[in-house]
Structure 1
Amino acid sequence: MLQVIMFSKKRIEYFTALFILLECNTVYAVALPTNGILVIVAIMGLLVLSMLELKKKAYINAQLGVFFLFYYINAGVAFLHADNKLGFICRFLLCFPCLIFYLSLKSAEDRYKLLFKIVNIMFVEAIISIVFYSLGTWMNFIEPSGAIMINWGEYHSVTSYYGIYFDSQPFRNSGFFAEAPMHSYCLSIALLVELFLKPRHDKWRVLILSVAILTTISTTGFLVLVSVAGFCILKKWYNVSSRVKILTFLFVAAMGLELYQIACGVVKEKQETRSYEIRNYYIEKEIDAWLSHPILGTGFGKNVKGSSNSLFVVLADGGVHFFILYFGALIYFPMAVWIRMKRLDYLIFYLIYVGMFCITVICYNVLTLMILALSLSPLIQRKHLCNYINAK
């Protein structure tokens, strides 16, 4: 019976990982929106199997009751102010709590398994997208198989390559996503997990994911790659001789100067385009919305459309009340883990993620909720429960 449960759970974990990715503005999700229902059903299935695997009510404890009582009181307040009530129910009353509860049933080693499966899926997707991007989009060796109509920005058709790759944006690798930046975001998450959360990383996976990120031609992806390179250099800094340190410092300084000049050029170019004006307009609009309702915000889902910054969207939608959740999960608790357990890789993962969070609208997608849940789940995990699962 236990073997059947474990086999079924592994399959459902892969389905859950796939559904989480599909909710990240993929062509499929835009064409047939589900509001995260598939993810919720899959996570509930995982919860049931995990509790059956435990064979006893070890998952019920005082922390669990206090945490969810406090959470649902606050979520109820936010729900009353929500503009998109159905979206709020699916994400913050069902999906997010289920993710926290599910991850709290896992040991420290097993807690990342769902993310590892997301990495596996994105690795395969990266290979497929690079092949079709190079041989299809650029060289025209592979002909499109058809087109699909999506309502993204405006109702329009997108060129399809056998339903597994789409030319959503000209000359950019969009994979099966409706836009290249979201493809870059998911690839970046896979790269960060591979490098900083896995016990051992695969160099070929790192290379292929990095190449795929470059082909998206996304500012978010470029910044992630630069950040990863910088942190990897700093990690090795203390393990080399003084002479190598000096040479490394000179090299990094030269690269930093070059990147600064490139960044200045990009900023100057963006300032001369309509895109820069639009970004500024929405940031100012979100700040005004937050200042008009600083505690509870203007309501969930009111400020997402048109924005390109998750930080100000969270403040505008949910005020300080909502912002505390994100601040705690993305900054406070990762810092606490680093200070208490000396887990530098864990901190680096979240620091780079915060950088992505500030320049991309990802605050309400299920993958972001999972990363928040990963940080919060130890709060309701009892020590004897961890020992019990580890003993298995």
Structure 2
Amino acid sequence: MIKRNQLNLFLQYILAFLIILETRSVYSRCVVGHIDEIIIGGIILTIILIILVNMNYKLKTKSLFFLLFYYLYMFIFLIINVDGYNVNFVIIFMILFPLVFLMLNLYDSKEIKNLFKAYVNIMVIISAISLFFYIFGSLTGMVSTNIIQEINWGGDYGGNKIINGYFGLHFNTQTTVIFGDAILRNTSIFVEGPMFALHLLFAMALSLFMNKKLINKYSIIFGFSILSSLSITAILFYMFLLFYKYTFYNKSKTKIILLPILFFIFLIIGTTFFNDKQSTNSYNIRNDDYTASFRVFNDYPIFGSGFANNNIVIKYMSKFRLYNTGLANSFVVLLVQGGLYLVIFYLLPVILNSLNLIKSKNKNLFLIEIMLLQLYLFFMNAYQYTSLMIIFLAFDYYILLFYNKNNDLKNLQLKEETYEKI
């Protein structure tokens, strides 16, 4: 008979894999078939199974009151700002978020760690495969593409895009301009480089505090993968993560000498990349996103212009970018579509958690790092309605409600003397 711990671990790996596939992978954006629906259905089913496996744990009363308030909060938004019966809104906010919150309530800190580890382990395998095909396929052509896929992401004027790939394990989806030259980005199985980098940063942040050594096989593989994604913002935050870990966990006196040098290198590289980025269309589009979004916000400040509705913000966009009308990060999307109502719901737990954790006597450096990463990516990537965002959003509210009065949750602090191998 399968033990509950083994079943939990098996379901955690399935859940982590499906979350990765659902969050901006090529498979979640395929035009043919209903793969995206199968993936999100699999996520919901897996979470339900996890809840059933762990039902012998007592559900906290505070959790029930929170969910009651949450449903009231979202129902108000549904009535006012969701046009008709929007299946996506129901799935994301009325089903997925509450299920994830319940799952976390039934988990102890060990099971939360195991879920994080499952995500890291799967991402390191995906990263290693991507590096192989990127080097021997995308860059050198030693391995030829053998499949063609049509996705509803990245096409001009909101249309579909045809991409090629290698055995369904790696796809060439995007190029970028670096120092005047167009270069293929390592996008792995994802729709674009920044979305691959999004997963890499989460995996890197989780893995750093699960390994005693700063430089290990995980940080090396994730580092090269982030570099090959050619995402400037991801490269800079990767360096920050190393800097953060080294600063707070290295007790050697040599760090007094090395820290200024590392910071100077970080500043030079960041400035160089930023100056180069200023001349690109990507930079101009991001600036235009904010201009157009705040004009919409001025018209619809409280509830936004409508869930999943970008028609109004497009009217305010500059003509030079009408071939690309997608908004670039989660903040501007939520500001446009949900106004202050949704922006506050997303940012409140991250900001309050960050302040509480920083002010606490025994600082949980691991959780502070995760909160800072989420805050950073919120303004860098558009992934506001993905399962990855919803998982961490539910996690943030769980930490906000229970961290101070739950000693078990404080075990998520991975101190140097209690590191575990992943």
**What band does the TM-score fall into relative to the shorter chain?**
0.7 to 0.9
Alignment of 1:222-371 (within 5 A): 222-236=235-249, 239-241=251-253, 244=254, 247-270=257-280, 274-303=281-310, 306-340=326-360, 341-371=362-392
Correspondence for 1:86: 87
Aligned residue for 2:14, secondary structure, equals: helix
1:221 aligns with 2:202: no
- Cα deviation digits, residues 301-334 of structure 1 (max 9, x gap): 2249611121122222222222222222222123
The code of the aligned residue for 1:90 comes to I
Pair 1:384–1:350, CA change in 2 (3 A)? closer
Shift in alpha-carbon separation, 1:10–1:280, aligned structure 2, 3 A: same
Any idea what the Cα deviations from partners look like across 1:53-86, whole Å, max 9, x if unmatched?
Answer: x2x6x22x42122111100000111222125821
Instruction: Give the alignment partner of residue 156 of structure 1, picking from 143, 158, 161.
Output: 161
Post-superposition offset of 1:5: 3.7
Residues 127-158 of structure 1, C-alpha deviations (whole Å, 9 max, x = no match)? 10000110111122212222122222332321
Q: Which amino acid aligns with 2:70?
A: Y
Q: Does 1:182 align with 2:182?
A: no
Q: CA RMSD in A?
A: 2.6
Gaps of 5+ in 1: 388-392
> In the alignment, which residue of structure 1 is the partner of 2:412?
none
Change (3 A) 1:156 1:233: same
Instruction: For 2:196 and 2:149, locate their aligned partners in 1 and report how far apart those are by CA, in whole Å.
Output: 18
Instruction: Work out the CA distance in 2 between the residues paired with 1:247 and 1:337.
Output: 28
Q: Do the aligned partners of residues 377 and 161 (structure 1) sit closer, same or farther apart at CA in structure 2, a change above 3 Å counting?
A: same
CA offsets 1:191-220 (integer angstroms, 9 cap, x no match): 011013x36568111111111111111123
Map 1:131-170 onto structure 2 (within 5 A).
Answer: 131-152=132-153, 153=155, 154-170=159-175
User: Larger relative CO (CA 8 A, sep 6+): 1 or 2?
Assistant: 1
Aligned residue number for residue 217 of structure 2: 204
- TM-score when scaled to structure 2? 0.81
CA–CA separation in structure 1 for the residues paired with 2:226 and 2:75: 39
Distance 2:386 2:356 in 1: 25
Confirm whether residue 173 of structure 1 aligns to residue 186 of structure 2. Answer: yes
Partners of 2:407 and 2:27 lie apart in 1 by 39
Opposite residue 295 of structure 1, the aligned amino acid is I
CA-CA distance at 1:126 after TM superposition: 0.5
- SS of residue matched to 1:308: coil
Tell me, yes or no, if the aligned pair for 2:197 and 2:234 is still in contact at 8 Å.
yes
How far has the Cα of 1:106 moved from its partner? 1.5
State how far apart, in whole Å, the 1-side matches of 2:401 and 2:135 are. 47
Per-residue CA shift, 1:313-367, capped at 9, x if unaligned?
Answer: 2222222222222222222123323433410221022213311221111222111
Instruction: For residue 266 of structure 1, report the CA deviation from its aligned partner.
Output: 2.1
- Matching residue of 1:390: none
- Contact 1:149–1:157 (8 Å) recurs in 2: yes
Number of equivalent positions: 374
Aligned to 2:97: 96
> So what's the TM-score if we normalise by structure 1?
0.87
| Greater alpha carbon shift after TM alignment, 317-326 vs 12-21 | 317-326
The structure that is helix-richer by fraction is 1
CA contact (8 A) 1:78 1:299 kept: no
Bigger Cα displacement from structure 2, 353-362 vs 22-31: 353-362
Q: CA deviation at 1:14?
A: 1.2
Q: CA deviation at 1:4?
A: 4.0
**Taking every aligned residue pair, what percent have the same amino acid on both sides?**
25
Say which SS state the counterpart of residue 109 (structure 2) adopts: coil
